[in-house]
Structure 1
Amino acid sequence: MPYNRNKAVQYALKYALSPNPEFRYFSSTLNAGGDCTNFISQCLLAGGAEMVYNNNPWWYNHNNLSSAMDDTWSLSWSIAHSLYWNIMKNTMENTKGIKAHILSAASMLDLGDIIFYENDENRIFHSTIVTDYNNGSPLVSQHTYDLRNVSYIKPYRVKAMHFMHIYLN
């Protein structure tokens, strides 16, 4: 099934500022590390990505229909560094799951593509989804902090940005 960029973007725009109550929300004020990658995973799921439970897992389980507090998830669902390497492994090994073409410039990104941000310790620490453009420059939506259609360029120090053109198979 191809990646449905429109559905991923529609989901991102709908829930960027008001998180989906059907999923656990990781508040950065509660030392939960933030919700950026949980949000990106939800967008990828909305775009048609299938959950993977073995080998290179990426999944989220609703364990209690009345509350998201009892839900469980894989590390790659909620941690930026883990999702980045999950996608890279799927791509390199051509295994089931989310894959990406690595792009050299932000101007090459399409709607629904993902940007990962790397710090000085060579750690991927944040993720965003491209949801619009301003004069050809990508605008992104994200959680931690919850923002919609803002510049992909961050006001804090970033060692590198990884531009991923997402695809599925």
Structure 2
Amino acid sequence: MKPDWKSTLYRYVQERNRAELEYGINGLTALVYDDADLQERAARLLNLRKNTSKRGVTLKQRETRARIVSSSSSAQEVRVKLALSQQFRYEHKDQAITEFRNELERLHMVKASVGWKIMRVDALSAENTVTPPDMGGSASVPFMNPSALARSGAIREPIRYNREAAKQYADRYWDEPNPEYLTFEVDCTSFVSQCLFAGGAPMNYTGQRGTGWWYRGRHKEQELWSYSWAVSHSLQNYLNTGGSGKNRGLRAERVPSAKELEIGDVIFYDWEGDSRFQHSTFVTGKDADGMPLVNAHTVNSKGRYWDYKDSYAWTDRTQYRFFHIADFF
């Protein structure tokens, strides 16, 4: 027989899914006693409803599956780490789109006179986290695309950016790490860098973490990657200031609107409007209006609408930067 707290957990997943379908939290208020979470969720759903209406989107189906990653319990309380796999099917001007998203939450539940109450909900995958934390693990060497390795001093033919190969990589690894790379807890920018590299962008190896764009893994306690490889603000700054230079290496053109982007391009997110960029995504498609759909890590997402107004990190101060990656390196 299942512990009765699992019944409450099952109801929570059902009501969480219903809230996203109906853009309201009514079904959650009988289960969740975390006022801050409920208020934040209600505001996000209201914003999402306005945004989907403005886009002309009709949500057809939404599924949420949950898996208990870990739990600790006593007679009076339970703490659960929950993995949520979500799938959205919607129509946009006769275009059928499926979006996938995975999130992690930690729930604190306490025994009530009847059943259980969820006293606290914490999102564990946060898109507004800035700095990748320290990681353990052994050395890692990425899968190398030989044509993408710039040779210092060598005269070579220009490399065409293979946007389709970059997209295929983004679709292959949106929800699982490539074992050839170390996985950051805040992995959004490393994922974008891997996609660019898979499309043929040459690394600019300088051996100095504050310059170039490169990755060599970890050797003992030494971190062998540039900040621009793994930190959103650093990659944004690298592209915004010319990348690897005018004549070779990874570079991009900053464009004024999301609609000007193509598959294989990159978007950066400054949640607070303070010119510090905390998140990065990779363009893998377009909707019926020609607006980008993106793949991303941290909150692992595939085919997500580019503006992230459905994210807890989004604020009305959020600013974006759009970069069109060069066609030749």
1:146 to 300, 308, 322: 300
For 1:87, the equivalent position in structure 2 comes to: 239
CA distance in 1, matches of 2:293, 2:187: 19
Distance in 2 separating the partners of 1:39 and 1:117:
15
State the distance in 1 between where 2:251 and 2:244 align. 9
Partner SS for 1:124: coil
Residue equivalent to 2:248: 96
With normalisation by structure 2, the TM-score equals 0.45
Higher RCO structure, 1 or 2 (CA under 8 Å, sep 6+)? 1
Query: CA RMSD, aligned part only?
Result: 2.3
> Equivalents in 2 of 1:57, 1:92: separation in Å?
7
Give the structure with higher Rg (CA): 2
Looking at structure 1, the residues matched to 215 and 230 of structure 2 have their Cα atoms a distance apart, in angstroms, of 9
Q: Once the 2 structures are TM-superposed, how far is the Cα of residue 63 of structure 1 from its aligned partner?
A: 5.4
Deviating more after overlay: 42-51 vs 71-80: 71-80
Q: TM-score, normalization: structure 1?
A: 0.85
2:240/2:254 contact within 8 Å kept: no
Deviates more, 1:52-61 or 1:90-99: 90-99
Show the counterpart of 1:41: 193
Per the TM alignment, residue 90 of structure 1 is displaced from its structure 2 partner at its CA by: 2.3
Query: What 5-or-longer segments of structure 1 have no aligned partner?
Result: 28-33
Distance 1:102 1:76 in 2: 16
- Distance, in Å, in 2 between the alignment partners of 1:130 and 1:83 is 16
Indicate whether 1:159 and 2:314 are aligned.
no
Separation (CA, whole Å) in 2 of partners of 1:141 and 1:17: 9
Query: Structure 2: where are the runs of 5+ without partners?
Result: 1-158
* Candidates 101, 108, 112, aligned match of 2:260: 108
Check 1:92–1:70 CA distance in 2 against 1; reply closer, same or farther (3 A cut). closer
The partner residue of 2:203 within 51, 68, 77 is: 51
Does the CA contact (< 8 Å) of 2:212 and 2:244 recur in 1? no
Q: Does 1:126 align with 2:274?
A: no
1:16–1:92 Cα change, 3 Å = closer
User: 1:71, CA displacement in angstroms?
Assistant: 6.3
Q: For the structure 1 residues 40 and 70, does the alpha-carbon distance in structure 2 shift closer, same or farther, using more than 3 Å as the test? A: same
**Aligned residue identity for 2:162:** N
Counterpart amino acid of 1:134? D
